[in-house]
Structure 1
C-alpha cells in the first residue's frame, strides 16, 4: 500500500506564518502519517522563488517522502515567466509530467491548469477578460495570450497525459490547481460572483477527466471552500484548499490544525 497526501492554497505569506516552523511541523506530521508522496496543489506563496525554496526545504526534511508540486495562480505572479512555467526542470515540479508508482499500475499526473470562463457561460468573453486584466489578482501574471488560448494549451496537455496513461493501462491520480467541476461553486446570481467563477477553472477539464479510462482521483484547489469528496462516475474529486485566515477559510483556529484537518490522504494498492 502507498499513502499519498495532498494539500493546496496554503498561502504561507498571506497567512503570515513562520515558514521554518511550518516546514518542521508539516515534516513531522507527514512522517508520523507514513506518507510516501506529498502533493502540493498550488498557491504556496505569492512568489515562485519563495515557493521553490519552501519545497526544497520541505523535501530535505522528508527523506522518506517524495514531494511534488504544481503552480497555482499566486505562485505564478512573480519570479517566473509564462515560458519558464512550461519548461522548468526541477525534481519536485510535476507540471505536464507524471510519475509511476513503483511496482504498481498507478500514475500521478501533474498540471498547473488555467481557466476559460466556462463556469460563467452567460458572461461575455470581453467582460471576463476585462475583469482579469483590469482588477483580478492574475493581471500581474506574465501572459502573452488570451485566457482561452492559455486554457486550450493546458487542456491539450492534460488530454495528452491522460491518453498516455490510458494507453499504458494506468490508474491515474491527477493534481491540478484550477477547479474542474462546478459542484461547490456559488451560483452566478450576481455579477461579482459571475466574474469570480469565470476565473476558477473549466467544466471541460472535468469532462475530459471523466471520459478517459483509468482516472480515479483528482485533487485540486483554487476555490477556498470546504467540501466533501465528489464522485463523478469512477472519478473522485477532492478540493484540498486550505485558504486564507482573514477570510475565515480555515476550519480551525491555527494554521497547522487547519492544515491537518484539510489534508487529504489517499491509500492505493497494487
Structure 2
C-alpha cells in the first residue's frame, strides 16, 4: 500500500517575525526534500498582505520544481490587506487550496480538502446564539479582523464555508479515499483549554477562533485527519472520534509575544513542522 508524505505548517508570520522570505526559501526546499516530502501545505497567516503570501508560495514552488507540490490557504492575517472578499473566495490560482480539493497524482487514494474556514461564535455556546451582536460589536471594536472585507455576518460567512465543505467531503468520502482536511481556523472546541471558555476575556477570544459545526461535519464524514492553525499553541496530535487533529503553528518570535524556544526562524519552522504519511 502506497502512502503520501505530507508536511504541514501554519502561522509563519514572516512580516511580524521580520523574516526575509528570500533568505529561507532555499533552506526550506532543501529540508523538505531531505524529509522525502511529496506535498507541502501551509494553512495560513503567512503575511499581513495576501499579495505577498501568493508571491512567496509561487516562489517556493518554483524553487522546489518537480520535487514536491506546494499548496496554501489564507488565514485572517493574510486577508488584512491585498485582497477583498471576492478575491479571497474566488481566486483562480493553482496553488490556492481554498474551496478546492487536491488529489496527488502519485497517490490517487488520498485527497486533501482545503477551506480557509471562519468562525461563528459557536465555541462560546448558547449565549452566542442568543446574543451574536455582542460578539460582533466586540470584534469590530477590538479584534484585528475588524478591517477584513466581508458582505455579511460571521455566521453567514461560516455557513457558506460549511456548504462547500459538505460538497467536497461527501464527494471524496464516497470514493473511499483517505481524507486530510486543512483549514486555518480551529475545527473543534475540545481542542481549546476549558479554562479559556470559563474566562470572560478568553470567551471572547474563543468566539473568533473557529466553529464547532466544522468539527461536527468532520465527524459526520469520518474524516481521517485534519490540520489547522490560528491558535498559537503547539499541540501533540489528538484523535477525537474518527479524526486525528494536527496543530503546530510557528507563531510569534517577537519581544512582546515570545512564543519561540529559540530566536531562529528556520529552527522554529522545522521544529513545528507536522510530517504525516497518509
The answer to whether the superposition gives a TM-score over 0.5 is yes
- Length-normalised TM-score, structure 1: 0.95
* Pairwise CA distance, 1:257: 0.7
Question: Which residue of structure 1 lines up, in the alignment, with residue 111 of structure 2?
Answer: 107
* Pairwise CA distance, 1:227: 1.0
Give per-residue Cα distances to partners, 1:132-183, cap 9 Å, x unaligned.
Answer: 1221000111111000000100111111110111122211011100001123
- Compute the RMSD of aligned alpha carbons: 1.3
Question: Which residue of structure 2 lines up, in the alignment, with residue 208 of structure 1?
Answer: 217
Give per-residue Cα distances to partners, 1:33-70, cap 9 Å, x unaligned.
Answer: 12110001000000000001100111111111100001
- Aligned-partner Cα distance in 1 for 2:94–2:42: 14
Question: Which residue of structure 1 lines up, in the alignment, with residue 76 of structure 2?
Answer: 73
Query: Out of 248, 264, 277, which is 1:240 matched to?
Result: 248
SS of 1:75's equivalent in the other structure is coil
Question: Which residue of structure 1 lines up, in the alignment, with residue 28 of structure 2?
Answer: 26
The 4+ residue runs of structure 1 with deviation greater than 4 A are none
Give per-residue Cα distances to partners, 1:97-123, cap 9 Å, x unaligned.
Answer: 111133531111110110000111234
Q: Confirm or deny: 8 A CA contact 2:4 2:110 kept in the other structure.
A: no
Question: Which residue of structure 2 lines up, in the alignment, with residue 160 of structure 1?
Answer: 167
Q: Do residues 149 (structure 1) and 151 (structure 2) align? A: no
SS of 1:250's equivalent in the other structure is coil
- Length-normalised TM-score, structure 2: 0.93
- Aligned-partner Cα distance in 2 for 1:222–1:149: 20
Q: Confirm or deny: 8 A CA contact 2:123 2:206 kept in the other structure.
A: yes
SS of 1:76's equivalent in the other structure is coil
Q: Do residues 93 (structure 1) and 96 (structure 2) align? A: yes
- Aligned-partner Cα distance in 2 for 1:206–1:188: 17
CA pair 80-220 structure 1, distance change in 2 beyond 3 A: same
- Richer in strand (by share): 1
SS of 1:138's equivalent in the other structure is helix
Give the count of matched residue pairs.
267
> What does 1:1-270 align with in structure 2 at a 5 Å threshold?
1-63=3-65, 64-102=67-105, 103-121=107-125, 122-123=127-128, 124-186=131-193, 187-213=196-222, 215-246=223-254, 247-268=257-278
- Aligned-partner Cα distance in 2 for 1:183–1:16: 33
* Pairwise CA distance, 1:248: 2.1
More off after superposition, 171-180 vs 15-24: 15-24
* Pairwise CA distance, 1:253: 3.1
For structure 1, the residue ranges without an aligned partner over 5 or more in a row are: none
- Aligned-partner Cα distance in 1 for 2:94–2:234: 31
